[in-house]
Structure 1
Amino acid sequence: MEDRRLDGAVTRAQRRLVPFLLLMYVLSFLDRANIGFAKEAFQASAGISAAAYALGAGLFFLTYAATELPSNLIMHKVGARIWMCRIMVSWGLISAATMFVRGEMSFYVVRLLLGAAEAGFFPGVILYLTYWFPARTRGRILGLFYFGAPLSFIVGGPLSGLLIEMHGYLGLEGWQWMFMIEGLMATAVGVWAYWYLDDKPSDAAWLPADESHVLTAAIDTEERAKARHGLSSLGVIFRLPRVWQFVVIYFLIQMSVYGVSFYLPAQVAALLGTRIGLEVGLVSAIPWLCALIATFFLPRFADRYGAHRWLAAATLAVSGFGIAVSAGAGPAIALVALSFAAAGFIAVQPMFWTFPTNYLGGVAAAGGIAVINALSALGGFTAPNIKNWADASLGAPAGLYTLAGTTLIGAVFILALRREPTAEPATELAASSSPTSA
């Protein structure tokens, strides 16, 4: 009877919360990656060079990484309803303000502010899910949430392309309409979040009292277990060698994601021999549709057969080869290659997160996941700048070949992870601190 009530509470919470959180995630990816659709017209109109574009696109991730952990701690203190509202309203307004950029310095300032505004959203949602869903259901819920990344490009590509074609309407350029409308969409959803979200089951008027009680009891039981077995200090996380392995792997994955997404519209436009608009937006959605399909099937296959390490490495390797092939192929083959690339670097991410979550527990899990996500976000800063440097130094395809190489290195690092169950974090910490440890 108790299990049936708990299942009912989880199902009700999933139907209420997951679609809204997914909408928020779609808008977060849209507002950080739509710069790729504005690239050509934005650079020409705002007076921004290719190098400045690459630097500005990546600067987002510096402040994002620096302020992510403090943002998450504030959310834990004040509650998700208030803090998610703050995050979305501020990032929406700053994203919309990109329409006023003139010159490189104002571009840098806006991107830095946008990174700080959006910081804490992703780990904040992960933390929020721990308030609502027991561990045995959380993996499935996280998998649904991860659909937001490819969905943002599937929906956002055509939308951004359509808005770009509003060039000249009411005296505004197309890229200005894009930033304004997509930014204000996030702001509106942020205001909605204040009224829609509840901080915890006991606050939810839509959850029956008996289901609220059993769900709260289940979450509290897990939290007490974490308190008994978790590490007590966040600082200890930085001394765990395995955490740094996770940081490097996820950093390389993020390089693939943003190295492709920031330049995909321009690459597709070049392949089609046309300017960025609705047609490019529709064609650009194809790789992300493939990513959505791969994200649905591959993690489930890995769960069923316990093959997360091998399948994750193979998936990321396919992504690397896809990026490489797209650099020198004709339009049709390049689009197919980009579809494999996107499917790989998106679908690998839910599989990747099984490694740190199976390894870390308690406070170590909460702090470690935030640290991994924050430091790895710097891959979004590194990728466009490395690509721009390689293209400028060695010729246009060199940037994509470089990204393909770093992606394949990430696949090798996944294979290098130990196959056997790892020691508890505290045990590994003691071993790594010992003078006799290897």
Structure 2
Amino acid sequence: MTSSTLPAGAMPVSADAALEKRAYAKVFWRLVPFLMLCYVVAYLDRVNVGFAKLQMGQDLGFSETVFGLGAGIFFLGYFLFEVPSNLLLSRVGARIWIARIMITWGLLSACFVFVETPTSFYILRFLLGVAEAGFYPGVILYLTHWYPAHRRARIIAVFMSAIPVAGIFGNPLSGWIMDAFHGVSSMQGWQWMFIIEAVPAVLVGVMVLLYLDNGIQHARWLSPEEKSLLQREVERDQARGAKGPHSVAAMFRDMRVWWMALIYFAFVMGQYALTFWLPTLVKATGVKGNLHIGLLSAIPFICAIVAMNLFGRSADRRQERRWHLIVPALMGAVGFTVAASYTQNTVVSLAFLSLAAAGVLTCAPLFWSLPTAFLSGTAAAAGIAAINSVGNLAGFASPYLIGYLKDLTGSTQIGMYVLAGALVLGAIGVWLTPKQLVNR
């Protein structure tokens, strides 16, 4: 059909636009679902200790403080090895390094079956953090090699939908395994859960070696024209981002990087408190049975999936980043505050935990559109890892804080108010960030 025969009001689609649409569709379907699968497995093995706690604490005599410290100590290993891991990924390629990460953390996750003392619990959680360090920021860096900034919020939101997906399927699965396998071969249900849920990490790690490409030029499933177009888009985007640091040393001297890390710390406080303590919070409302707790714990994650993708699409369409972060942060703060005030009412508590989940889990993918707007070159690998490692220290602080305050007061209420305050501070930090730095 020629332009003269197009219906009135219709605009012809250029060959370049059609090529671009086809190329990005190929990239999406080739990479994003598979990376989501990897992250589902990663997140499940990272936070299933929250479900194991329902039996593990009683069987081993662990206090709330011991559990909170063990859950959080993962992030100390993660913090120490995050930047080196991401720099190695940048050097050896995503395919080999992500496979190494997944296989080693799968093997370590299975070793939790041998936990008997707080010390062994702490050591394995620390080593699990060391093994997994670099996975998440490595994927964020990897996506910047395929997508320019103006497409990134939606793609990262889709990828990070793996977190609520892990909650939707992982929580009921963990509850079912713990109930169904309890006592089999003289082992506890939580021991079987660690063994069974470790297997996919090793298998998917092997799949990474066979499936993942290191970059556009290695993708045999793209035509030469598609490769050229995608490469031009990424290079043009990197040129626009030249206002940021380009070396590792310059990155460490750039105060904007540390400002981003503080904002991310505030958001991660809410994220990991929710994912580690949600089963306990649901149980505290009077729900009985691990499977029932798992099914109800899936509801907040369903709400989060919807919110993450709606906000991500809106942020890319409007080319606006700050208010698309501020609003969900305040949603999370309101959700935690009201849920903390109605801990004995299952319906009200679950409704506002759902609002909290929608808010805090939406913050994470949208946040990464801020620093990746001014980081480029080698600094991107180190900068993303540095921000993520400092921010994820909140993954150590928030579970430990909640556990300590619960032991001290007998309630999670004060801890949830603290989380709400952290999210408000994060929202203020985003508001104070110059919009010209991040909106592109």
Return the match for 1:172 from 187, 191, 194: 187
Does the 8 A contact of 1:47 with 1:104 survive in 2?
no
Does the 8 A contact of 1:250 with 1:376 survive in 2?
yes
Partner of 1:163: 177
For structure 1, the 5+ residue unaligned runs are 425-438
Partner of 1:374: 389
Q: 1:207-264: CA deviations, max 9, x gaps?
A: 33443454445545656x3797653431222333322221111101111111121111
The TM-score with structure 1 as length reference comes to 0.89
Identity of aligned residues (%): 42
For structure 2, the 5+ residue unaligned runs are 1-14
Partner of 1:194: 209
Partner of 2:433: 417
Q: Distance in 2 between matches of 1:381 and 1:423?
A: 28
Which range moved further: 133-142 or 114-123? 133-142
Does the 8 A contact of 1:387 with 1:402 survive in 2?
no
Q: 1:40-91: CA deviations, max 9, x gaps?
A: 3111223422221111100000110111111111112211111111110001
Residue 206 of structure 1: SS of its match in structure 2?
coil
Q: 1:287-309: CA deviations, max 9, x gaps?
A: 01111111111233344445532
Partner of 1:313: 326
1:1-12 alignment to 2 at 5 Å? 1-2=15-16, 4-12=18-26
1:294-313 alignment to 2 at 5 Å? 294-305=307-318, 308-313=321-326
Whether 1:278 aligns to 2:291 is yes
The TM-score with structure 2 as length reference comes to 0.89
Whether 1:107 aligns to 2:121 is yes
Closer, same or farther: CA 311–192 of 1 in aligned 2, 3 Å: closer
Whether 1:41 aligns to 2:37 is no
Deviation at 1:2, TM superposition (A): 4.9
Whether 1:337 aligns to 2:352 is yes
Count residues with an aligned counterpart: 421
Q: Distance in 1 between matches of 2:153 and 2:419?
A: 30
Which range moved further: 300-309 or 163-172? 300-309
Which range moved further: 405-414 or 181-190? 405-414
Closer, same or farther: CA 16–341 of 1 in aligned 2, 3 Å: same
Q: Distance in 2 between matches of 1:385 and 1:287?
A: 22
Deviation at 1:176, TM superposition (A): 0.9
Whether 1:346 aligns to 2:325 is no
Q: 1:394-437: CA deviations, max 9, x gaps?
A: 4412222222222222223222333x42499xxxxxxxxxxxxx
Whether 1:97 aligns to 2:111 is yes
Whether 1:69 aligns to 2:83 is yes
Closer, same or farther: CA 183–226 of 1 in aligned 2, 3 Å: farther
Residue 370 of structure 2: SS of its match in structure 1?
helix
Q: Distance in 1 between matches of 2:206 and 2:86?
A: 19
Q: 1:91-114: CA deviations, max 9, x gaps?
A: 111111111111111101110110
Does the 8 A contact of 1:290 with 1:340 survive in 2?
yes
Which range moved further: 133-142 or 258-267? 133-142
Partner of 2:8: none
Q: Distance in 1 between matches of 2:17 and 2:318?
A: 27
Return the match for 2:166 from 123, 147, 152: 152
Does the 8 A contact of 1:160 with 1:281 survive in 2?
yes
Does the 8 A contact of 2:161 with 2:305 survive in 1?
yes
Deviation at 1:362, TM superposition (A): 4.1
1:160-239 alignment to 2 at 5 Å? 160-165=174-179, 166-216=181-231, 218-219=233-234, 225=239, 231-239=245-253
Does the 8 A contact of 1:6 with 1:211 survive in 2?
yes
Does the 8 A contact of 2:369 with 2:438 survive in 1?
no
Q: Distance in 2 between matches of 1:99 and 1:185?
A: 16
Deviation at 1:390, TM superposition (A): 2.2
Whether 1:242 aligns to 2:260 is no
Q: Distance in 1 between matches of 2:298 and 2:438?
A: 42
Residue 436 of structure 2: SS of its match in structure 1?
coil
Q: Distance in 1 between matches of 2:242 and 2:397?
A: 39
